[in-house]
Chains A and B, each alone.
Chain A
């Protein structure tokens, strides 16, 4: 797969892994969220991302705390519960050149934040939207969230009788062009998809099943490590070939699908189970619906379309960030005021 056999001590922009570190995690030991954090550090390092060119935004929850635990050299905004998407949108308006990593939880997204999630999926910001999905509210001690599967049980036996919200299906439906479901325990797939999502110019929604070891890792939970280990259905073997990788010309042969990104990098997708076609929207929705019945959890790239113009491209803005504009550009001349005043006299 990708040509990064051994991680070099410095990446292409001369930074070391430690330059992508964050402060020490305060989450429970074994929490799935920490696994995601670790892979984010890897992916940012591997992609040689300049820390000042990304911003990390989050809502509220254990998951939303994690931006403190990776890439401290990047700006970060831990905002309010369920509203990260709007804060991210505003950030993109002020500075269209920033790459946004949005981190949220299933409660933060599928419950309180559902309205904002739905609308941000329609926008296509330059953002990786990560839902660290454990089926419960970790931070408020284990209540069900809206992604809990029908029939799944809480620690003390309460059963969820409502239909689960499938964020991947919603994202596909709403026009998101890069949609993946991942399992925090599947380190390799997560790392490759994170790298691809970071390189992708547009919104990538990553719904990552990330078990809460404290409140939702018991028998009867469908978001536990054991459940996922036996029910994950990896759809594909995913590879990411960065633009600078000297080997990439040799990649992408055989039955692999290769998706080329604007920056020259490539995502390689090799179907494992059957020939699942991630470029087919209707097929993606069908796959997700089928597996709600089977109980299996398909992971991999559910849907991937070519990069398309982003929200900020449609606004007709100047190329430089609005935040960099100064008075000489922002205040029209006196003649303009005179013209307006004359029209009102």
Chain B
């Protein structure tokens, strides 16, 4: 009989502050179990996050899921787990060895981890034996064995079983057979733990009320929703982790909600590669569609030539880069903020692009619609810079607000407008002085509507030209257009309390930064002002922020400090104030890492 053996009897209790790490094999169906744990905590009103650490493979390789629940709202990744569930015999030795001192290990009895980590708390569970009892049908056992640890954890850490049942129903929505199979397995695990395990650790959860009105969603689904409500019409894609689920979600949503009289108000096309995906956007954006594709770093590399064409021929389309670890195939299932420069300045020659940078699903939703607007307003490719952590992990979020602002379709001349102008117009003339020209859609029924689109040098009237002054004038107008963009892109989020040091960050490092700033203040007496970048080009506020501070840390997930380089390049007079705080092992940022680097800098 399994019993708990603790190094010392536990007297403390730790409420609503735990990191639970589950090790399983890819393709073993553990995702459902992990989501049930996550949802239960969420439904109990405790702030929570779930991060999936999975291999680039379909079945068999190890995979981990980390849940952090924290009553104070700290839900960034943490270096060490408090509770480790070892379900994968292939990695259990390593998983146990990696656990911090005093961690709680829950594992299959026969793995015998007690001898290997006498400094940990042990709950040995005879999972194989239990599943034989809980599930008479041999063929189904593999599918539900992971539900046993849900029951065991629920019992040990005081999860509300009613919420567990509800979480199963939500997770397996509509699949009654699966629900009927999974609920008893969880209950069996719960009952066994109650009868056989002696509580020997301090962790427990308690209902609270922090999640009212919130949802749980992956960033990719949020971006997809933003695009649907933003009126996307042409979607092309080529599968690549971690972006694939974005277009899959999008296609599902569109098929459900964007049908008119039984017909689709959109087209979704799987292209033969990323060059074709972006080529289709160039054609679609040119012909008047709100065109979108999603990809990741390798796809961006392939798209570069046509991105430059889009910039120079002034064609609107939107690309979401759900970034992963590179270069090359890199770590395809890990995260990175490594494509900052390859987006900001994508393609050859003089190019600069509008990039929006969401940090939460809610912002991903809002910025997706905004990106479609910006692309058409500025007649240029616009990027959404996301990453695997945002795109594929599960985030609590405020409910999204229904967008009420009308679409911005930009300066388009239709037949009536051309009639009024007597057909007198030029595709690349800067009529309004903002660098943004007028365009017409192919098919516009007016004899003067047509113009010739090309990637070669052209005059304001879109005729071919190799004249130096025509080239320069056009490039200067494009620069003017980019200046105009500075006034329209999302502004940074700034907290300024007049401290000497500032911190610049962006995207999914937000949660870790929040926690790190609190800790720097509480434990080290270090206070920093903050600027969260939300777009490129950098707006005046960013310049002012750096200007006002003596030294500014730039936190990012890459080796070379790409955002620091871009800030330095765009604001050269201020470059000397910037210092890099970096994290680049493929994993999401932890507060610990930020704190230790900044403390070290500040001590110097």
Residue in contact with B450 in the complex, picked from A52, A318, A327, A343, CB distance below 8 Å:
A52
The answer, yes or no, to whether A16 is at the interface (CB within 8 Å) is no
Contact between A315 and B264, CB atoms less than 8 A apart: yes
- Tell me which residues across on chain B come within 8 A of A287, comparing CB atoms: none
Stretch in B121-129, B441-449, B541-549 touching the partner: B441-449
Contact between A316 and B229, CB atoms less than 8 A apart: no
- Per-position contact with B for A125-141: 1 when CB-CB < 8 Å, else 0? 00000000000000000
Contact between A76 and B452, CB atoms less than 8 A apart: yes
Residue in contact with B283 in the complex, picked from A74, A86, A340, CB distance below 8 Å:
A86
- Tell me which residues across on chain B come within 8 A of A92, comparing CB atoms: 283
Contact between B276 and A116, CB atoms less than 8 A apart: yes
Residue in contact with A90 in the complex, picked from B258, B264, B283, B400, CB distance below 8 Å:
B283
Which of A315, A329, A345 gathers most chain B CB within 10 Å? A345
Q: Report the Cα distance A324→B233, complex, angstroms.
A: 10
The answer, yes or no, to whether A226 is at the interface (CB within 8 Å) is no
Residue in contact with B267 in the complex, picked from A77, A93, A319, CB distance below 8 Å:
A93
The answer, yes or no, to whether A79 is at the interface (CB within 8 Å) is yes
Interface size on A, residues (CB 8 A): 59
The answer, yes or no, to whether B505 is at the interface (CB within 8 Å) is no
The answer, yes or no, to whether A344 is at the interface (CB within 8 Å) is yes
Q: Report the Cα distance A9→B470, complex, angstroms.
A: 39
Contact between B286 and A78, CB atoms less than 8 A apart: no
Contact between B447 and A73, CB atoms less than 8 A apart: yes
The answer, yes or no, to whether A29 is at the interface (CB within 8 Å) is no
Stretch in A192-200, A292-300, A330-338 touching the partner: A330-338
Contact between A330 and B287, CB atoms less than 8 A apart: no
The answer, yes or no, to whether B454 is at the interface (CB within 8 Å) is yes
Minimum C-beta distance from A108 to chain B (A): 13
Once A90-B279, A330-B233 are accepted as A-B contacts, the answer to whether A98 and B287 lie under 8 Å apart by CB is yes
- Per-position contact with B for A305-344: 1 when CB-CB < 8 Å, else 0? 0000000100111110111110101111010110011011
Contact between B442 and A98, CB atoms less than 8 A apart: yes
Q: Report the Cα distance A50→B400, complex, angstroms.
A: 46
Residue in contact with A93 in the complex, picked from B225, B289, B306, B447, CB distance below 8 Å:
B289
Contact between B455 and A76, CB atoms less than 8 A apart: no
The answer, yes or no, to whether A244 is at the interface (CB within 8 Å) is no
Once A52-B446, A334-B402 are accepted as A-B contacts, the answer to whether A86 and B287 lie under 8 Å apart by CB is no
Q: Report the Cα distance A124→B119, complex, angstroms.
A: 68
- Tell me which residues across on chain A come within 8 A of B446, comparing CB atoms: 52
Minimum C-beta distance from B414 to chain A (A): 10
- Tell me which residues across on chain A come within 8 A of B173, comparing CB atoms: 343
Once A55-B442, A327-B406 are accepted as A-B contacts, the answer to whether A89 and B231 lie under 8 Å apart by CB is no
- Tell me which residues across on chain A come within 8 A of B248, comparing CB atoms: none
Q: Report the Cα distance A87→B282, complex, angstroms.
A: 6
Please give the residue numbers on chain B whose beta carbons come within 8 Å of chain A beta carbons, in ascending order.
173, 213-217, 225, 228-234, 236, 253, 257-258, 260-261, 263-269, 271-273, 275-291, 305-306, 309, 313, 399-400, 402-403, 406-407, 441-447, 449-456, 463-464
Listed from nearest, the 8 A-B pairs whose CB atoms lie closest are A90-B283, A86-B279, A323-B288, A330-B231, A90-B280, A94-B287, A94-B289, A90-B284
Please give the residue numbers on chain A whose beta carbons come within 8 Å of chain B beta carbons, in ascending order.
23, 50-53, 55, 57, 67-68, 72-80, 83, 85-95, 97-98, 115-116, 119, 312, 315-319, 321-325, 327, 329-332, 334, 336-337, 340-341, 343-345
